[in-house]
Chains A and B, each alone.
Chain A
Amino acid sequence: MNIITKLLTAIRGSAREIGEAVVDTQSMRIFEQEIHDSKENLAEAKSGLTEIVAKKMAAERKLNGLKAEITENEGYAVKALEQEDEALALQVAEKISKLDAKAENLASDLNSYEKNVDILKSQIQEAEKIIAEHERELAMVKTRESVQQATKSVTQTISTNESAIGSARDSLERIKEKQQNEQDQLDAGIQLRKDMDGDDLDKKLKSSGIKTEKHTAESVLARLKKK
C-alpha cells in the first residue's frame, strides 16, 4: 500500500491522530533506524566499489604491460629464428608461454572484477532508490503529523478566542460593506472631479465672453432702468 493510500485509509477511518494511525512513534523510530542502516550499508558498498574499480584498473594496467612484453618477446623469437638460432628461439618461446598463462589469469580476474563492478553498481542504485522512497514516506508521515499539530494549535486558538474568526456571514457582510464604501468613495471622487471640471469650463466660458456674469453692476442697473 502506498503512503497516500495509507493516509486516505486513516482519514476514512476518521482517525484524528493520523500520524499515529499510519506509523506510530515506535515504528517511525524503527523506520528511521532502517534508513540510517541502509545508508551505512550503501556507504560501505560505495567504498567497496571504489576498491574493486581500483583493482580493476591495476589489473588492466598489468595486462597491458604483459601484452607489450609478449609482443616484444615475439619479436625476439622471430629474430632468433631468422638467425637460425633454434635453441634461443625455444627459450624465448618458453618465456612467452609463461607470459601467456599469466595474461590469461589476469584477463579472467579482470573479467570477474568487471562483473562485480556491474553488480555493485546496480545494487547501489537499487539501495539509493529504496532509501529515497523511504525518506519520502517518512517525510510525508512527519509532515502530516506536524501539520496536524499546527492546525490543531490554530483551531484551538480560534475556539478559545471566538472573535478570531467569527462567522462566514459576518466576514462576507464586512467585505461587502467595505467594497461598497470603496465604491462610494470612488464615485464621490468622480463626482467631485466632474464638478471641478464644470467649474473650470464655466470660468473659461466667462473669460472668453461666451458666457456672461448674471449679477454684474451693469446688469442690475439695466434691470432697474427698465422699471
Chain B
Amino acid sequence: MSLLPNLSKRLSEYQYKEHRFSCLPMPGEQDVLRVEVSSLEEMPIFVTVTETQILCISYLFSKEEIHSDKTAELNQYMLELNVPMPLTAFAIIDDYYSVFGALSRGSTLDSICDELVTLARNSSDSLQALEEFIK
C-alpha cells in the first residue's frame, strides 16, 4: 500500500482552491496520514488507505465531552444532518463522534483534495453548530 506516502508527497506540493495541505505521516499497525488543511488547521484529518477505499476521518468530540442528557437529541440531529451534508457523514468511532468521507482508491488528486477541504470545513462547521451539546 504505497498509496499513502505517495499521497502525502503529492498533497504537500499541491494547492487546491487556495488551500494547502500539511501532511504528517504517522506510522503504526496501519499507516495514518494526518493532514491539516490551511485555514482549517483546527480540524485535522486522518487519512488511511484500506483494500477498498481511502478513508478520511476528522474527530469532533469524545462522548465524555458532551452533555450526557442530550445524547439522544444529538444523535437524532446527526442522523438528520447526514444526507444534506455534502461528501461527509457523521459516525461514532470508539468513544469519538466524528465526521468521515470515503473515496475510491482510484480517485484523482483533485477529488481527494475536494474531500479533504470539504471534510475539514464540515468538521469545523459541525463543531460550531453543535456547540450547545459540548460541556
Q: Is A172 an interface residue (CB 8 A)?
A: yes
Question: Top 9 closest A-B pairs, CB basis?
Answer: A168-B61, A146-B50, A150-B48, A153-B30, A154-B46, A153-B28, A157-B26, A171-B42, A151-B93
Cβ contact within 8 Å between B96 and A155: yes
Per the bound structure, the CA–CA distance linking A155 and B135 in Å amounts to: 22
Cβ contact within 8 Å between B50 and A150: yes
Q: Is A121 an interface residue (CB 8 A)?
A: no
Q: Which residues of B contact A (CB under 8 A)?
A: 26, 28-32, 34, 42-44, 46, 48, 50-53, 55, 57, 59-62, 65, 93-94, 96, 124, 127-128, 131, 134-135
Instruction: Point out the residue from A139, A149, A174, A175 that lies within 8 Å of B29, measured CB to CB.
Output: A149
Taking CB atoms, residues of chain A closer than 8 Å to B59 are 158, 165
CB nearest neighbor in B for A11: B92
How far, in Å, is A167 (CB) from chain B's closest CB? Answer: 6
Q: Which residues of A contact B (CB under 8 A)?
A: 139, 142-143, 146-147, 149-158, 161, 164-165, 167-169, 171-172, 174-176, 178
**Known A169-B134, A172-B131, A178-B42: A151·B52 in contact at CB below 8 Å:** no
Number of A-B contacts (CB under 8 A): 81
Cβ contact within 8 Å between A168 and B50: no
CB nearest neighbor in B for A140: B52
How far, in Å, is B22 (CB) from chain A's closest CB? Answer: 13
How far, in Å, is B93 (CB) from chain A's closest CB? Answer: 5
Residue pairs across A and B with Cβ atoms less than 8 A apart, 10 shown, are A139-B52, A146-B50, A147-B50, A152-B29, A153-B26, A156-B28, A157-B26, A167-B61, A168-B61, A171-B127
Per the bound structure, the CA–CA distance linking A171 and B127 in Å amounts to: 9
Per the bound structure, the CA–CA distance linking A100 and B55 in Å amounts to: 71
Instruction: Point out the residue from B53, B65, B93 that lies within 8 Å of A168, measured CB to CB.
Output: B65
Cβ contact within 8 Å between B127 and A175: yes
Instruction: Point out the residue from B46, B55, B62, B94 that lies within 8 Å of A157, measured CB to CB.
Output: B46
**Known A139-B52, A168-B65: A153·B127 in contact at CB below 8 Å:** no
Cβ contact within 8 Å between A172 and B52: no
Cβ contact within 8 Å between A175 and B134: no
Per the bound structure, the CA–CA distance linking A167 and B42 in Å amounts to: 11
Cβ contact within 8 Å between A153 and B50: no
How far, in Å, is B8 (CB) from chain A's closest CB? Answer: 15
Cβ contact within 8 Å between A175 and B42: yes
Instruction: Point out the residue from A143, A147, A167, A175 that lies within 8 Å of B65, measured CB to CB.
Output: A167
CB nearest neighbor in A for B53: A143
Taking CB atoms, residues of chain B closer than 8 Å to A152 are 29-30
Cβ contact within 8 Å between A156 and B29: yes
Per the bound structure, the CA–CA distance linking A160 and B104 in Å amounts to: 29
Taking CB atoms, residues of chain B closer than 8 Å to A169 are 65, 134-135
Taking CB atoms, residues of chain B closer than 8 Å to A151 are 48, 55, 57, 93-94
